[in-house]
Amino acid sequence: MATIQVREYNLERTLGAIRSSGPSTTSELTRATGLSRPSINSLVSELVRLGWVDVVEPVLDGQGGRPPQRFAFRSRAGLLVGLDIGVHRISVLLADLDGGVLVEHQVAVDPALAPPERLEAIDRTLGEALAEHGASPHDVWAVGAAVTGPVDATGRTSLFSPLPGWTDVDLVGHLATTFPCPVRVENDVKLALLAEHAWGAAQGADDVVYILAGLRTGAAAFVNGVLVKGHAGAAGEIGRLPVVRWKKAIGILRGDHAGDDDLDVDATAAATTFETARRGDPGARRLVREYARAVATGASALVLTLDPEVVVLGGGSTPWAELWVPEFSAMVGRSVIRMPDVRVSTLGGDHVARGAVRLAMSEVESSHLTGEIRPARARASDADESLAQPVTT
């Protein structure tokens, strides 16, 4: 039994080295893992047989001699779905098993849409994304979905949601009727942080506060490398406190201080204020400074509570970061004991859907790539390519 466990551990290490480093030679894998060359050859052959690794045949360079084979993770073995269900739009990303985006599809929806109509729009958008890639639901290995509001262990937003009637929706059950694979649902701000930790401004940091600054203002946190969820999924909902002013933040930019629970919040008005401030208008600059201070109030409370290494700012206000982030940072700095590093997201508008992809990736990693490495399931169109190729030294 011990020998089998060591073998599985070494398979996991070797596959992890290939995934993290990209196409690798036997010598590179030997250095990365500390295992012997014969062991690596045996392990790679097993990973090829299981369908997780492709042999990348060497290309002759005309210099004499044969370049070594390289071994690459077979990310095309399956598909992942990242779904972002927002108040104003639905976004779908179709990705490979390494999170590489293959298809991006989105549609604008009426903020007041009732659950049946919103679910119908979700199904339609998912179908269009799959059709664009020539895939079916059976090609999908895991689905990650993002929704607004605290998400409990069942995937429901039973406490509250800005989506009309959504607290009674069983999204996991609905998606399971289409996809014969695991479906996981999480809060959108928490998934934005997952994306930042995997591919964005929070890479390499274990203690992070993420602030979503856009039509809504929200927060999520990593502590010791673990996403903080809370007992019922409501961790980070500090904006519910009126004194924090996050509900009023986007309204400040419109000059009316409306709360962000208003489904008719106009992004155009906020963008106009930012652009007017960029041109130097004193009144617009004053509103932007006030907005920055409102966002900083809640951020300061989180920094004092969690003492993060990094604060990441994301969301719809980041294209104008140079106008408000300096004021934000100055106010946080005056309020906290130790000032964290403040970073602005560069992931773009699909950051929440990318976090949903990362959630789906973690499902595949835990079920197939941790402990006992399970065989990959190939798409029918890849059947011929999935045959094990010989590994040479």
211, 315: one domain:
yes
Number of separate domains in the chain = 3
Predicted pLDDT of residue 26: 92
121 versus 390: the higher-pLDDT residue is: 121
Asked if residue 275 belongs to a domain, the reply is: yes
Q: Which of 75, 90, 125 is the last residue of a domain?
A: 75
Each residue's pLDDT tens digit, 71-114:
999 999 999 999 999 998 999 999 999 999 999 999 999 999 99
Q: What is the pLDDT of residue 172?
A: 97
Give 222-287 as a DSSP string: EETTEE---TTS-TT-GGGSGGG-TTTHHHHHHTS---TT-TT--HHHHHHHHHHHHTT-HHHHHH
CATH code assigned at 7: 1.10.10.10
Six-digit token string for 281: 């208008």
Residue 209 confidence (pLDDT) above 70? yes
Which of the four pLDDT bands, split at 50, 70 and 90, describes residue 371? confident
Give the pLDDT confidence score for residue 363 in this predicted structure: 94
Here the CATH number for the domain that contains residue 308 is 3.30.420.40
Read off the pTM.
Answer: 0.88
Task: Note whether 313 and 363 are same-domain residues.
Answer: no
The answer to the question of residue 178 being in a domain is yes
- Reported as a single tens digit per residue, the pLDDT across 313-326 is 999 999 999 999 99
Task: Quote the CA–CA distance of 178 and 359 in Å, as a whole number.
Answer: 19
340 in the same domain as 217: yes
Considering the domain architecture, whether residues 339 and 256 belong to the same structural domain is answered as yes
pLDDT: is 390 or 105 the higher one?
A: 105
- 274 plus 162 within the same structural domain: no
Question: Residues of 302-316 as b/e, b for ≥16 C-beta within 10 angstroms?
Answer: bbeebebbbbbbbbb
**DSSP strand pairing (183-187 vs 79-85):** unpaired
For residue 235, being part of any structural domain is answered with yes
* 13 in a structural domain: yes
> Sign (positive/negative) of CA torsion 301, 251, 293, 326?
positive
> Does some domain include residue 378?
no
Q: For residue 60, name the pLDDT band (cuts at 50, 70, 90).
A: low
Check whether residue 213 and residue 102 sit in a common domain.
no
Helix (H, G, I), strand (E, B) or coil at 71: strand
Q: Please list the helix, strand and coil fractions of the chain in percent, rounded to the nearest 5, in that order.
A: 45, 20, 40
Domain of residue 300 covers: 202-344
CA distances in angstroms from 216 to 52, 263, 372, listed in the order given:
41, 10, 42
Quick one: average pLDDT of 335-352?
94
Q: What token pair was written down for 134?
A: 């020539």
Is 385 contained in some domain? no
Q: Does 376 map to a domain?
A: no
Query: Measured between alpha carbons, how far is residue 251 from residues 112, 204, 243, 260 in Å?
Result: 19, 35, 15, 7
**Which of 58, 75, 92 represents a domain boundary (last residue)?**
75
3-state SS assignment for residue 183: strand
Whether residue 254 sits in one domain with residue 147: no
Give me the pLDDT at residue 2, please. 67
Question: Are 10 and 91 within one domain?
Answer: no
Q: Is the pLDDT of residue 384 over 80?
A: no
Q: What is the DSSP letter of 201?
A: T
Q: Are residues 236 and 328 in the same domain?
A: yes
Same-domain status, 150 and 63? no
Where does the pLDDT of residue 376 fall: very low under 50, low under 70, confident under 90, or very high at 90 and above?
A: confident
Asked if pLDDT for residue 339 goes beyond 50, the answer is yes
Helix/strand/coil for 377: coil
User: What pLDDT is recorded for position 182?
Assistant: 96
Phi–psi pair at 365, nearest 5 degrees: -60, -40
- The residue with greater pLDDT, 243 or 61, is 243
- Domain-embedded: residue 197: no
The DSSP result for 21-33, as a single string, is: H-SB-HHHHHHHH
Mean per-residue pLDDT, 211-219: 92
Q: Do 66 and 84 have their domain in common? A: no
pLDDT at 63: 60
Given pLDDT bands bounded at 50, 70 and 90, which one contains residue 389? Answer: very low
pLDDT of residue 387: 36
Q: Which residue has the higher pLDDT, 167 or 256?
A: 167
CB 81 within 8 A of CB 179: yes
Specify whether 206 is located in the same domain as 231.
yes
Average pLDDT, the chain: 89
- Does residue 261 have a pLDDT over 70? no
* pLDDT score at 1: 47
Contacts for 147 with CB less than 8 Å, ≥ 6 apart = 85, 157, 161, 163, 166, 171, 185, 186, 187, 188
pLDDT for position 129: 97
Q: What is the Cα 30 distance to its own chain's centre?
A: 32
